[in-house]
Amino acid sequence: MKLYSGPLSMFGAKAEIAALEKGVDVELVMVPFEMNTLYQPKHAEVLRINPKRQVPVLVDGDLEIFDSTQIFEYLEMLRPEPALWPADPKARARARLLEHKSDEVYFPHIVRLMGLQATLDDPLAVEARAAATACYDEMERVLGERDWLAGAYSYADIAFYMAQLFGARMTAPMTEAHPRLLRWRDRMSARPAVARVAGAMGRYLLSQGRPLPPFLQRLSGGGPTA
């Protein structure tokens, strides 16, 4: 089994963490990436398999799929234990909705901040950070007194952890206004699979001279903070 990802792919990192949590043996293929040109030129296998021209892509024999959520679903069927979706239908639906919100509601606000880190007063940046904060408010309420977002540890936690990592890098971090989420992030960072993938991403950023938020600095073994 091969997983095509990239050193700064949030969605690829989600799939990497899921495979590690499941104990599924995959060959990780990091596609070419450079800070100025990004993923150009595109990897030939990614272009062939994914019409969206993006990682992650998973190849298992004659099966070729893309999209981190689709990879989650396949890994769950392939290796049911440890379960990363709840068994109860309603609980599973809520967990899937949280994963979807991380990718499709919260993360687009963070994408809007890319390139605006030096112009924090830009109205677009102000609006995007306010929208991200509203998402944190919602997730703080959802988490409540539980350890994990959907009750048991799940793909919803993996998705939001990686999304908020990019939020912290793009001037929209969680703050002391969200103490439950901050404790949740500490629990997430302590998981070996999460620490391995997020730490590798942090070390790549350090190699490019990029600052890290403090929690990612700790996982990466040092370097400047932001």
pLDDT tens profile 148-169: 999 999 999 999 999 999 999 9
Q: Which residue has the tokens 């892509």?
A: 57
Instruction: Please report, as a single letter, which amino acid is at residue 18.
Output: A
CATH number of the structural domain spanning residue 19: 3.40.30.10
pLDDT tens profile 76-96: 999 999 999 999 999 999 999
pLDDT of residue 136: 98
Read off φ and ψ for residue 52, nearest 5 degrees: -80, -10
99 found inside a domain: yes
Which range marks the domain in which residue 212 is found? 191-226
In a shared domain, residues 131 and 57:
no
For the chain, list residues with pLDDT below 70. 33-40, 222-226
In a shared domain, residues 165 and 211:
no
pLDDT of residue 224: 43
pLDDT of residue 204: 94
Report angle CA 58, 103, 135 to the nearest 5 degrees.
Answer: 160
Q: Which residue has the tokens 């903070």?
A: 225
Q: Which of 208, 82, 209 is nearest to 157 (CA)?
A: 82
In a shared domain, residues 12 and 70:
yes
pLDDT of residue 141: 98
Domain boundary residue, one of 78, 110, 130: 78
pLDDT of residue 42: 81
| Prediction pTM value | 0.94
